[in-house]
């Protein structure tokens, strides 16, 4: 099939090229020249006429009403025809194979026209026309075959008139409705012809016409005409489904004069709209410029609990040393100033204060009681002054101590075993009054600590990890950051260089943390040797882990005025035997070369020796190691 088609194509191409030169061209331009307009075809014709001598041919065949049609011919150039009557028109109706050529039913020699009336017109049947001259010379062109429905050009409409539809509020433009009647020759009422109309209009002196879409109704609206200008309108028709347009109708003129009365109203509306727009813009500008204030008013920030003396910004930035300094710095007297500096603007800041016991501590003057102790209500064994008396009424969550469960040894045992920071010496625990700590090591693989004879309780800080809940209802805490370093020389042998892995909150199990107790008896020198400098803190012998036990304090006369006693956690080395229970929450200070973490364990300030009314200001809450802090450290 494709081959045949292409063959056809070639053949036809060849034939047409041959034909092109000889024939005068298709005058009718019916089906196949749908694309071209009649004007173009006429131009082609004229070209050919000038170019070569042309034989007689038909110029056009047209029907106006789909019932009759006419054809016009021209005699051509190269024949010297005396009279136009010499040429005769013959037509052929191809509705049967045995059709023959018949002569034109009605001549009009003046116009060189042949008219076919209704009796001789059949639609949908091809007609072919030819001219015959003298001596039966026929001039026949295959192109002069057509069907009548394809050559219809309807007449233009009649009785055009226009009415003003509406004028715009400004009075500058208006809409017009144009109406007309269908051409009388076209039989629209019986439905025989279906006609579409096309309106074109232009300004009086313009050259180009504007055309609206063809539509089948007998009226149409023209929108947007300018007042004061005169417009010219005309209409033409065509058959629906066929491309050929008829002639244009006569033009009508449309004009509307301007109406100036409406200007004031227009001006007023304009002013109003612009004013409103301007005001809106101003409001927007105000809002944008005072955005923050407005935001503060509309969406006040949510107050968050703050810890006195600690600026959350410092925590965010990871400046631990400063934080340390702040917390422990400048003695106790330094804190209030910090507090006032940080929080003077924020009256809503509530401080969680950690108070200290009063001076009537007696032996336990130096012993501080952490909040957790009070929370737990654990027996402050040897201390008799843990009474909830002189606490300022702060919302610090302190609990008064009570003497419950004191006697239950199992709970203590349990607590002892669970709490890593506990003095490993259960026996010491069990026998609270024994001074001599048992030399047995605890069974727990956790940190060995120097345990005192005194059953020490956890010297935990404000934030401590709950390790377990006792059946009796109490809460067992892990030691937190407070290291309980028992000065037990007897325990030296028991010390192992272990890990603080469990207790540290750092997720680096491969690191070994070693808590070094600078405070330990006899080890301070080593510790100082190992000391890696952290600026604000200098290891002072005698300082270090602040314990609750007055005893170590007694032996160490050094005043715990130095805030910063950071026991350093050094990587495990055989030399260091000292270790202390590592808190659950520790701060990683640095990474040293061995990829070990150096923890910074700020400790609480040692309570001043029974200073009256000395609330402990520094709860040492640097327990949190957040990932960004870690990042800061490691970087």
Partner 1 sequence: LKREIKKIISAVWVGIICLVFSSRLSTMKAASICPNDQTGCHLLPLANLFDRVIQHSARMHGISDDLHSEFELYFLPSKNQIGRVSRNCHTSTILTPNGKENAQRIAREELAEIILKLLVAWRDPLWHFHQSMSQHDEFTNFSSNKSLEMSDMVHELRKGVLKVVEKMQMLGIISNSVGDTGSPEALLTSDSAEWRFMKDYDLLYCFRRDSNKIQNYLKILKCRIVPKHGC
Nearer to partner 1, 2 or 288 (CB): 2
Regarding 35 and contact with partner 1 (CB under 8 A), the answer is yes
Distance CA 586, CA 514 (A): 12
Among 42, 72, 123, 409, binds partner 1 (CB under 8 A): 123
> Which residue stretch of 45-53, 114-122, 226-234, 291-299 sits at the interface with partner 1 (rule: CB under 8 A)?
114-122
Regarding 475 and contact with partner 1 (CB under 8 A), the answer is no
The 3-state secondary structure of 273-333 reads: HHHHHHHHHHHHHHHHHCHHHHHHHHCCCCCCCECCCCCHHHHHHCCHHHHHHHHHCCHHH
Among 21, 22, 85, 191, binds partner 1 (CB under 8 A): 191
> Which residue stretch of 103-111, 153-161, 181-189, 533-541 sits at the interface with partner 1 (rule: CB under 8 A)?
181-189
Determine if residue 65 is left, alpha or beta; phi over 0 gives left, psi from -120 to 50 gives alpha, anything else beta: alpha
Regarding 121 and contact with partner 1 (CB under 8 A), the answer is yes
Q: Least separation, in Å, of the C-beta of 56 and partner 1?
A: 18
The 3-state secondary structure of 398-425 reads: CCCCCCCCCCCHHHHHHHHHHCCCCCCC
Nearer to partner 1, 9 or 282 (CB): 9
Regarding 40 and contact with partner 1 (CB under 8 A), the answer is no
**Residue 452 neighbours by CB under 8 Å, 6+ apart:** 423, 428, 437, 486, 487, 488, 549, 551, 552
Nearer to partner 1, 187 or 232 (CB): 187
Regarding 128 and contact with partner 1 (CB under 8 A), the answer is yes
Among 37, 38, 59, 147, binds partner 1 (CB under 8 A): 147
Q: What is the DSSP string of 559-606?
A: -TT-S--PPBB----SS-----PPPSS-EEEEE-TTS-EEEE---PPP
Distance CA 547, CA 516 (A): 14
Per CB under 8 A, which of residues 1..20 are in contact with partner 1?
A: 1-2, 5, 8-9, 12-13, 15-16, 19-20
Among 62, 188, 259, 591, binds partner 1 (CB under 8 A): 188
Q: Cite the DSSP H helix spans in 506-569.
A: 524-530, 550-555
> Which residue stretch of 139-147, 153-161, 300-308, 579-587 sits at the interface with partner 1 (rule: CB under 8 A)?
139-147
Count other Cβ atoms within 10 Å, centred on residue 234. 19
Structure-token pair, residue 124:
């949908």
Q: Least separation, in Å, of the C-beta of 195 and partner 1?
A: 12
Regarding 43 and contact with partner 1 (CB under 8 A), the answer is no
Q: How far is CA 126 from CA 37, 71, 99, 109, in A?
A: 21, 14, 12, 24
Provide the β-strand partners of residue 598: 590
* Binding string, residues 67-86; x marks residues near partner 1 by CB under 8 A: x-------------------
Tokens 């009508």 sit on residue: 252
Regarding 33 and contact with partner 1 (CB under 8 A), the answer is yes
Regarding 190 and contact with partner 1 (CB under 8 A), the answer is yes
Regarding 196 and contact with partner 1 (CB under 8 A), the answer is no
Distance CA 19, CA 335 (A): 113
Nearer to partner 1, 217 or 443 (CB): 217
Nearer to partner 1, 68 or 229 (CB): 68
> Which residue stretch of 189-197, 268-276, 464-472, 551-559 sits at the interface with partner 1 (rule: CB under 8 A)?
189-197
Burial label, 548 (beta-carbon count in 10 A; 0-12, 13-18, 19+): buried
Regarding 42 and contact with partner 1 (CB under 8 A), the answer is no
Q: Least separation, in Å, of the C-beta of 94 and partner 1?
A: 4
Q: How far is CA 308 from CA 312, 354, 564, 569, 615, in A?
A: 10, 10, 18, 27, 12
Nearer to partner 1, 35 or 288 (CB): 35
**Residue 373 neighbours by CB under 8 Å, 6+ apart:** 380, 386, 401, 457, 458, 459, 460
Among 145, 361, 447, 514, binds partner 1 (CB under 8 A): 145
* Binding string, residues 93-112; x marks residues near partner 1 by CB under 8 A: -xx-x---------------
Regarding 21 and contact with partner 1 (CB under 8 A), the answer is no
Structure-token pair, residue 300:
């006040």
Q: Least separation, in Å, of the C-beta of 157 and partner 1?
A: 17
User: How many residues of this chain interact with partner 1, rule: CB under 8 A?
Assistant: 48
Among 40, 43, 109, 194, binds partner 1 (CB under 8 A): 194
> Which residue stretch of 29-37, 373-381, 419-427, 626-634 sits at the interface with partner 1 (rule: CB under 8 A)?
29-37
Q: How far is CA 584 from CA 102, 503, 506, 508, 523, in A?
A: 120, 4, 9, 13, 24
Phi, then psi, of 581 in degrees rounded to 5: -60, 130
Cβ atoms 479, 446 nearer than 8 A: no
Q: In what order do the strands lie in the sheet with 57-62?
A: 57-62, 69-74, 113-116, 106-108
- Summarize as ranges the residues that interact with partner 1 (CB under 8 A): 1-2, 5, 8-9, 12-13, 15-16, 19-20, 26, 28, 30-35, 66-67, 94-95, 97, 118, 121-126, 128, 142-147, 149, 187-192, 194, 240-241
């Amino acid at each position: 099939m494709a081959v045949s088609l292409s063959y056809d194509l070639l053949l036809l191409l060849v034939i047409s090229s041959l034909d092109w030169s000889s024939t005068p061209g298709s005058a009718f331009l019916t089906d196949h020249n749908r694309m071209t307009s009649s004007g173009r075809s006429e131009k082609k014709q004229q070209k050919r006429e000038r170019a070569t001598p042309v034989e007689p041919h038909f110029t056009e065949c047209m029907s106006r009403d789909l019932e009759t049609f006419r054809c016009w011919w021209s005699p051509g150039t190269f024949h010297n025809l005396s009279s136009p009557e010499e040429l005769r028109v013959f037509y052929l109706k191809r509705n049967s194979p045995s059709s023959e050529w018949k002569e034109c039913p009605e001549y009009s020699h003046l116009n060189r026209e042949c008219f076919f009336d209704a009796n001789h017109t059949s639609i949908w049947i091809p007609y072919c026309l030819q001219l015959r001259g003298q001596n039966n010379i026929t001039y026949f062109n295959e192109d002069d075959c057509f069907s009548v429905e394809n050559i219809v050009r309807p007449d233009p409409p009649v009785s055009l008139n226009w009415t003003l539809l509406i004028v715009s509020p400004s009075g500058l433009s208006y809409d017009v409705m144009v109406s007309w009647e269908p051409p009388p020759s076209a039989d629209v009422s019986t439905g025989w012809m279906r006609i579409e109309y096309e309106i074109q209009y232009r300004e009086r002196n313009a050259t180009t016409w504007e055309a609206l879409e063809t539509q089948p109704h007998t009226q149409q609206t023209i929108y947007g005409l300018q007042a004061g200008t005169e417009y010219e309108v005309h209409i033409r028709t065509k058959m629906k489904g066929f491309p050929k347009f008829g002639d244009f109708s006569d033009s009508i003129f449309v004009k509307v004069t301007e109406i100036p009365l409406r200007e004031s109203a227009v001006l007023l509306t304009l002013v109003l709209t612009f004013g409103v727009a301007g005001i809106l813009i101003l409001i927007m500008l105000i809002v944008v410029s005072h955005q923050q204030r407005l935001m503060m008013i509309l969406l006040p920030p949510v107050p968050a609990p703050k810890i006195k003396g600690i600026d959350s910004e410092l925590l965010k930035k990871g400046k631990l040393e400063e934080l340390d300094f702040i917390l422990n710095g400048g003695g106790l007297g330094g804190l209030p100033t910090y507090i006032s500096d940080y929080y003077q603007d924020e009256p809503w800041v509530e401080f969680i204060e950690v108070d200290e016991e009063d001076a009537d501590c007696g032996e336990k003057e130096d012993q501080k009681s952490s909040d957790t102790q009070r929370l737990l209500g654990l027996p402050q064994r040897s201390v008799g002054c843990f009474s909830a008396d002189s606490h300022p009424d702060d919302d610090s969550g302190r609990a008064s101590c009570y003497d419950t469960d004191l006697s239950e040894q199992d709970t203590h045992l349990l607590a002892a075993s669970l709490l890593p920071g506990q003095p490993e010496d259960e026996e010491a625990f069990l026998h609270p009054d024994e001074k001599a700590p048992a030399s047995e090591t605890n069974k727990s693989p956790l940190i060995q600590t120097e345990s005192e004879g005194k059953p020490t309780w956890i010297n935990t800080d404000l934030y401590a990890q709950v390790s377990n809940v006792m059946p009796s209802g109490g809460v067992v805490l892990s030691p937190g950051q407070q290291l309980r370093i028992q000065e037990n020389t007897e325990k030296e042998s028991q010390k192992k260089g272990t890990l603080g892995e469990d207790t540290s909150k750092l997720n680096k199990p491969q690191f070994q943390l070693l808590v070094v107790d600078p405070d330990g008896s006899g080890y301070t020198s080593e510790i100082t040797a190992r000391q890696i400098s952290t600026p604000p803190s200098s290891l002072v012998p005698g300082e270090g882990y602040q314990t609750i036990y007055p005893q170590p304090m007694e032996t160490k006369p050094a005043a715990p005025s130095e805030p910063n006693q950071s026991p350093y956690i050094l990587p495990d080395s055989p030399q260091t035997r000292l270790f202390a229970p590592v808190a659950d929450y520790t701060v990683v200070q640095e990474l040293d070369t061995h990829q070990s973490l150096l923890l910074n364990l700020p400790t609480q300030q040692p309570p001043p020796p029974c200073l009256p009314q000395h609330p402990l200001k520094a709860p040492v809450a640097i327990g949190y190691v957040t990932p960004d802090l870690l990042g800061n450290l490691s970087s």
